[in-house]
Every structure is written in structure tokens, then in C-alpha cells.
Amino acid sequence: MAMSSRERVLAAVNHREPDRVPLDLGGSRVTGIDAGAYVALRAALGLDGGPPQVVDVWQMLAWVERPVVEALEADALPVPYLTGPFGLRVDAWQPWRLNDPDSADSGVAVQMPANFAPVADEDGSLCLYQDGNLVAKKVPSSIYYDRMVEFKVYDPLPLVASWPMPLFSDEELTWRRSWAETLRRETDKALIGDFGPILGRWGSYQEWMFNIAADPDYVLAFYERKLEALLRNMALYADAVGDNIDIVWLGEDFGTQKGLMISPATFRRMVAPYYKRLFDWVHSHTAWKVLFHCCGAIYPIIGTLIECGVDILNPVQTSAAGMDTARLKAEFGDRLTFWGGGIDTQQVLPLGSLEEIRAQVAERIRIFGPGGGFVFNPVHNIQRDVRPERLLAMYRAVREFGSYPLR
């Protein structure tokens, strides 16, 4: 008997085999698709539509419309935020054209948030300001708006008590409550709540790593204060969306292509206790599953993430060092759902042949699929250079090989 999308996803994340491997496209900001690639995919599916909404300007992600979700038989939908990266709101829109440095045309027509107001620099860069501060910049050779916090250096460090720790506004909570109630009422999809705030850092990764070594007491004091705000925000969020979501996602990167940013021991001592307290609150106050996004070669800390209360791991960056698919499933597959890892997005999806795409999808389903615990998604967001015929080959292969019992 065919399951509803929600039943299918919940069976998988509870380590039971559903009728078929669940599929996600656009259920979160880490399982989405670039706006330019989305327009091409939508056309390849034979679907009409106007300029798509760019809901995440940082990553240039499109809102995946319901007809596309249904055409692909995807199983998850996002409960979106009102205010996203760089303070951009998604409740009003303006026309725009994507700037593609590799294309000679005028760019794909899209809709950008109405308060998106880039300022051109002398070199042609587009700069975004928030409260008078430069927060993002897109150079002419790029399609992305780089976060300027990654270049910020604080000397000396401000007092920990001076860092702002904002709480969700009533307007934000009302928006999320309305979306959660509407999507639960109108669809059978598994709903993913985009919580937003993370433990995080105050500046660049470099500064964070330096201070973990040079001034660990400062980092721990920052984390303690940040956790207090996270717990208050999570309580507000839970009161707003309640049982209308099934999964809450948040994420923070601790891996690179070749290894961890900090040692496993440092992660266990300085980071894990704070996330454990947050995820313990989620599990003791809600029925939600925790989806944690963490890129890179994070094999040495996956066990610790499970101990912290992570139920679902994304993006499962299988091209990174130590992230062997069979080992991940064998060691963690009874305790962790892999939401991602369905195909390598660095080499195979953009550069491989259609048969190589089909073969890797089949292999990943064969490895990750048995016993449930797998939701198909590529490794992270689909990028602009991925041609639609490759995406269609990928989704056809999911249908071909993803029915239980697995071949």
C-alpha cells in the first residue's frame, strides 16, 4: 500500500522500511536548488511558471513550487522564515535578473525580496547593507553574495555580555505559525521547521579557531550566553509551530574536505555539551526529530553528534575524507538517518555521464536504504551548472531503484 509523504518520511527516520525511499528537494535551505538551475529543471518537467522567488539570497536558492514537488514526488516541504540572511524578507518581491559570469545573455528572470537593495561598488561588485553595515558582497566573477562577517577581525574582543542575542519577534512567530498550520492542513508532506539560530561564532572561522586555542574561556562564555538565547528561542518556536512540524533543522559546519576544523576531543569538550542541552530540550518538549547539517569530513565526531541527540545527518558529504558510505551505514545506520549523500555533487552530478549518475544513485540506495534511515537528496544544494537532463536522470534512477524491497 502506498504511503503518504509524511508516513514515508517518518517511517524512514524511525528506521523502518517505507514503500519507497523518500525524496527531498527544497525541504530546507541545505537541500535546495539554485534559482537558475531550478528554472531549467521546471522547464524540463514541462511545467509553466513565472520568475521564481529567491528565498535565500546568500545561497541563491529558489522556492520550490508545489507543481514541481508533485512532479518529482518529493516528500518534504519547508516551514519558512519571514526574515532570512542579510535581513531580507520573503513576504514581498521585486523583479530581478540573475548575473551569470559564464553566460552572455542578460540573465534568468527571478524575484528577489522587496527590501533587496544592492549598492554597486566601483569595481562592479554589488554590496548589501543592513543597519548601515556592509553584510554581503557579490564580486562580478561570482554568482554568490559572500558574508562579510567571514572577513571580520575583532581586536580586542568585545565583552561577551555585549554581543546581541536577539529573540524571535512576534511577527516572525506569527508568520511561521501560519505557514505550519496551512501546510499541515493542505498537504500530506513531512514538514521541516527552519529554526535558524545556531551556536555559531561572532566572526570568521579563522578567528573562532584561533580563540578556541588562545582564549577558550571566552569561547565557552560566549557559548553559555548563546545557549540561553537558543533555549528561549526554541521554546518560543515550539509554542508557535507545535506539532505541525515533524523535523526541526539547524546546522553548523565543523568539517573541511580533508578533516575537522578542530580536534574530536576539542569538539566534545567545547561544543558538544551545548548542543546536547539544546537537543535534549527538543526531545523532552516535542515529538520532532533533529536534523543537523554539518559539511565535510566529520566521521570522527558523528558518534558524538548522535550522543548530543542528532537524529538525522545532512548533507553526508561522501566525497570528503573518511566519509565512506558503507562504513557510515554499518557504524551509524541503526541510530542515524542519512538525509543526503544520494549522489556526489562535486564530480558525478555536474560532470559525470548520465549512466554514471544512474549507477551512483543505485549504489547509494543499495547502501543507505536497507532498514530505512535514508532520505534521498544530493550532497547539499544543487548548483547552477547542473544541466536539467542530469537532474532528470538522477530522479528517474531514484524511482527505478528506490522501491522496497530494494533490488
In the numeric block, which cell numbers belong to residue 148? 562579510
Q: What is the pTM of this model?
A: 0.97
Q: What is the pLDDT of residue 101?
A: 65
Between helix 299-308 and helix 272-285 the angle, nearest 10°, is 40
Closest CA to 160 of 232, 235, 215, 87: 215
CB 193 within 8 A of CB 288: yes
Q: What is the pLDDT of residue 102?
A: 59
Helix, strand and coil percent figures for the chain, each rounded to 5? 40, 15, 45
The residue ranges of the chain whose pLDDT is under 70 are 100-106
Q: What is the pLDDT of residue 88?
A: 98
CA–CA separation, 7 vs 5, rounded Å?
A: 5
In the numeric block, which cell numbers belong to residue 393? 536522470
Residue with cell 544543487: 382
| 114 to 52, 86, 104, 106: CA distances (angstroms) | 14, 13, 27, 21
DSSP-assigned letters across all residues of 255-270: B-SSSBSS-HHHHHHH
CA–CA separation, 107 vs 109, rounded Å?
A: 6
Q: What is the pLDDT of residue 407?
A: 80
Taking the CB of residue 352, how many other CB atoms lie within 10 A of it?
A: 17
The structural domains of the chain, ordered by start, are 5-34+72-79+151-401 (3.20.20.210)
| 3-state SS, residue 330 | helix
Q: Which residues contact 12 (CB under 8 A, 6 or more apart)?
A: 18, 21, 22, 337, 372, 373, 374, 375
